[in-house]
Structure 1
């Protein structure tokens, strides 16, 4: 189990417990965190679960694989610390992880 903090674009923070083996996206969906839509259900096919991994956490989270990098091309305002939350598996090592949610593009 890991405590994950989701920070909305407006600064509102949501800290929740996410079970090991789930993804950061699944934790957000299960707890109705606004800003993570996950239209594809976690299949790495839509980029609607795009997050920015907080400074100091990128190494623990690990790099994006090629399929995820390709899908990030469809996200808005992609940065070096951009990840799809459906591709980040929760482990004890991620206890305290913070992810920022990008501004919604309509």
Structure 2
């Protein structure tokens, strides 16, 4: 099982054993107990699962789709390393990835 190092909005880091084949969003919410609203259920239409991916990991992710980029670039807390966690599928190649939950909008 790959490990996710996730920093919650209060600065607390959690180490989460992720299930491969599921989105990062589901792993953060269901396996890590983090407060991710995930209002759209992972259909890339709300940006309530916005995370910041550690710079060292960005190159290991699939590129953002135009829809994902459009959603995150217009959020109040957009950064160059912003991603929607619902659009990141967890694989063994992402073992050790570090992310931080973006502030709520």
Q: Same fold (TM over 0.5)?
A: yes
Q: Is the 8 A contact 1:5 1:15 kept in 2?
A: yes
Aligned residue for 2:40, secondary structure, equals coil
**C-alpha RMSD over aligned residues:** 1.3
Equivalent residue, structure 2, for 1:62: 62
Aligned residue for 1:56, secondary structure, equals helix
In the alignment, the residues of structure 1 paired with residue 54 and residue 73 of structure 2 have an alpha-carbon distance, to the nearest angstrom, of 20
In the alignment, the residues of structure 2 paired with residue 82 and residue 63 of structure 1 have an alpha-carbon distance, to the nearest angstrom, of 12
Give CA-to-partner distance per residue, 1:2-60, whole Å, 9 cap, x none: 101110233101111111111100101213212x2100000001000000001200001
Equivalent residue, structure 1, for 2:83: 83
Length-normalised TM-score, structure 1:
0.90
In the alignment, the residues of structure 2 paired with residue 74 and residue 42 of structure 1 have an alpha-carbon distance, to the nearest angstrom, of 18
1:1-106 to 2 correspondences below 5 Å:
1-31=1-31, 32-34=33-35, 36-105=36-105
Length-normalised TM-score, structure 2:
0.91
- Alignment CA distance shift 1:39-1:74 (3 Å): farther
Q: Where does the alignment leave 5 or more consecutive residues of structure 2 unmatched?
A: none
More helix by share: 2
Q: Where does the alignment leave 5 or more consecutive residues of structure 1 unmatched?
A: none
